[in-house]
Structure 1
Amino acid sequence: MDFNLALRKNEPAKPDDDATAKKKNEYERWVKANRMALLAYLDSIEAKFKESEKVETGTLMNTFITTKYLGGDVREHILSMFDAAAKLNALNIKIDDPFLVHLTLNSLSPEYSQLKSTYIAQKQKWDLNELIAICVHEEKNIRQDKGKKQVNAV
C-alpha cells in the first residue's frame, strides 16, 4: 500500500514554490502516505483499547439497575443515573424517561418514601428536570428535619 512509502523513506524536504512538478508530487505522495500510516496506527491502537460493547452494556445495566442512593448530594445521584441511561441509549439500549424517573425514585433511600408515595398518587408524570428539582427540595426538608431532631435531642 502507499502508506509503506512513509514507513520506508524519511520525510523529504518540503519543495519550494519553484520546484519541479516531480518533486512536489513526490512530497505530496509522502505526506498522503504518512497520514494513511498514522490513521492505520491509530486505528490499531483504538482496536486494542476498545471495550467490547456487550461488556460495556452489561456493566452499565448492572450499575443502572443496582445503584442506590446512600446519602450525600441527591442531585449528583440522579445525574449519575441519567448519565448511565444516556450511555445505554448511545449503545442502542433505549431507556425512556418515565422508566428512568421510576427507577431513580426506587433507588432513593427510605427517607424519600413520602415523595415516592406522592408521585405514585399523582396523575401527572414528572420529567427529568422536575424530578431533580423536587428531590433537591425534599433533600433540604429532610436535612432541616434532622437538624431539628438533633436540637430537640440536646
Structure 2
Amino acid sequence: MDLDLALYGDEPPMPTESSTQEGKAMYEQWERSNRLSLMLIKSSVSKSIRGLIPECDKVTDFMKAIEEQFVKSDKALAGTLMQKLSGMKHDNSKSVREHIMEMRDITAQLKSLEIEISKSFLVNFILNSLTLEYGPFKIS
C-alpha cells in the first residue's frame, strides 16, 4: 500500500501540465501516503499531546514537532526527578531498603533520560536522606 512512502521518500515535485504521467502518479501516490500516514499518526497520539503540536501538512514535519515536544518534556521530567531525588527523606513509613530501592529507581529513570548519577553521588543522597537515628550507620 506504500503507506510509509511519505515517511521515507522525499516529496516529489508538484506536477505541472508538462509533467509526465509517471511524475503525476508518483506525486499522487506520495500525497496519498502523506495524508493517510498523518491521519493514522494523529489518531494514535493522545489528545493531550496532540493539542501541544502545531498543525502540519506533511507527516515528516508532524513527526519532527512530536520529537521536539518530547525533548522539552524529557527536560522537565529530568528536573522533576532530580528535585524528587535530592529532596527525599526517609520518614519510617517504609523500610530503609524500600526507601533505597525507590531512590535507585529514580536514578534508573534519570539514566534512561541520559543523566548519569554516579554511585558515590547516589550513596551521598541516600545517607543524607536518612534520619538521625541512622547516625551510626552514616558514620560507618
TM-score category, normalised to shorter length: 0.5 to 0.7
The one-character-per-residue Cα deviations of 1:13-34 (angstroms, maximum 9, x if unpaired) are xxxxxxxxxxxxxxxxxxxx7x
Residue 82 (structure 2) aligns with: 61
In the alignment, the residues of structure 2 paired with residue 46 and residue 78 of structure 1 have an alpha-carbon distance, to the nearest angstrom, of 34
> Does 1:42 find its partner at 2:64?
no
For normalisation by structure 1, the TM-score amounts to 0.48
Deviations 1:69-119 (A, max 9, x none): 01031111111101111111111111011211121111111111101101x
The letter of the residue matching 1:68 is K
How many residue pairs match? The answer is 90
How far apart in 1 are the matches of 2:104 and 2:48? 27
Distance 1:65 1:45, change over 3 A: same
Matched, 1:87 2:109: yes
SS in 2 for 1:52: helix
Q: Which residue of 2 aligns with 1:107?
A: 129
Deviation at 1:43, TM superposition (A): 4.0
Partner in structure 2 of residue 77 of structure 1: 99
Report matched runs for 1:135-150 at 5 Å: none
Question: Take 2:136 and 2:47, find their aligned partners in 1: how far apart are those partners?
Answer: 51
Query: Unaligned stretches of 5+ in structure 1?
Result: 4-32, 119-154
Q: CA deviation at 1:53?
A: 1.5
Query: Is the helix fraction higher in 1 or 2?
Result: 1
Could you tell me which amino acid in structure 2 is paired with residue 41 of structure 1? S
Taking only aligned residues, the RMSD between alpha carbons, in angstroms, comes to 3.1
Identical aligned residues as a percent:
37
The alpha carbon displacement at 1:66 in A equals: 0.5
The residue type paired with residue 66 of structure 1 is: G
Partners of 1:53 and 1:78 in 2: how far apart?
24
Q: For residues 43 and 95 of structure 1, what CA distance do their matches in structure 2 show?
A: 32
Query: What is the TM-score of this pair, normalised by structure 2?
Result: 0.53
Rounded Cα–Cα distance in structure 2 between residues aligned with 1:111 and 1:44: 47
